[in-house]
Amino acid sequence: MRRALLPMVLAVALLGGCSTPEPAPAPPPAGGAAALPGPIPADLALRPVPSTAPAAPAFTGALTDGSPFAVADVWAQRPVVLTFFTSWCTTCASSQAALSELARSYRDRVVFVGVAGTDQADEVQDYLRAHRVEYPVVLDDQQTIWRSYAVREPPAVVLVAKGGALLRGWPGGLDAPALDQRLRELVLAGQP
């Protein structure tokens, strides 16, 4: 009986050792289509847009995962915060964690959209993962979008109302507490 079991045990051991485990699926690229907003909250209340506000430049591009993106589709439904950055910008990096947290707190009510300029895709991915950026990011390696918003260097922040009216821009960026205050003053109605 022992002699009969020994070949079976060896066969099972050998077969078990020959199987190759399935590689874990790669995570989706940060800043891709998976980061687009969900449904609009039913209680979203917005301030009226000043009639004197100019139209923001509409743009299309590709997100970090290659998905097509049209900013006008997003601001047709809700306000948008555009953040212009590069992976090598130390000022961008030092404020990104707080900005990412603010974007999470406003998730689906106000859409944050990053615009990465002059970067390689892998540099952008490293930056987005290191700073836990969970909003969509458009790659603008030729800085076409940057030029349409008169951004010369990072960081810069632009606030666009629902419907596409340009409310305000901040060359040099804006820290998260100040941006939070501006969102409540300029965009969101009924917010403390």
pLDDT in tens, the chain (192 residues): 555 555 554 455 555 555 556 766 767 789 999 999 999 998 889 999 999 999 999 999 999 999 999 999 999 999 999 999 999 999 999 999 999 999 999 998 999 999 999 888 899 999 999 999 999 999 998 999 999 999 999 999 999 999 999 999 999 999 999 999 999 999 988 755
Residue 163, domain member (yes or no) = yes
Q: How far apart are CA 190 and CA 86, in angstroms?
A: 34
- The CA distances from residue 8 to 4, 16, 19, 32, 87, in Å, are 7, 12, 17, 50, 57
Task: Report CA 6 to chain centroid distance, whole Å.
Answer: 58
Residue 93, judged by CB atoms within 10 A of its CB (0-12, 13-18, 19+), counts as: middle
* Of residues 146, 155, 158, the one with CA closest to residue 186: 158
- The predicted pLDDT at position 103 comes to 95
DSSP 35: G
- The predicted pLDDT at position 136 comes to 97
Tokens representing 156 are 């810069």
Residue 90, domain member (yes or no) = yes
Task: Please report, for the domain that includes residue 100, its CATH number.
Answer: 3.40.30.10
DSSP of 10-28:
HHHHHHHHHPPPPPPPPPP
- The predicted pLDDT at position 65 comes to 94
* Structural domain boundaries enclosing 169: 57-186
Residue 26, domain member (yes or no) = no
Q: How far apart are CA 41 and CA 39, in angstroms?
A: 6
Residue 180, domain member (yes or no) = yes
Domain count, the chain: 1
Residue 129, domain member (yes or no) = yes
Q: Cα angle at 81 between 149 and 172, to 5 degrees? A: 55
Residue type, 74: V
Q: Which residues pair with 114 in a beta bridge?
A: 83, 137
Residue 25, domain member (yes or no) = no
Residue 174, domain member (yes or no) = yes
Residue 15: Cβ within 10 Å count: 9
Residue 15, domain member (yes or no) = no
Contacts of 56 (CB under 8 A, 6+ apart): 75, 158, 160, 164, 165, 166
Length of the chain: 192
DSSP 55: B
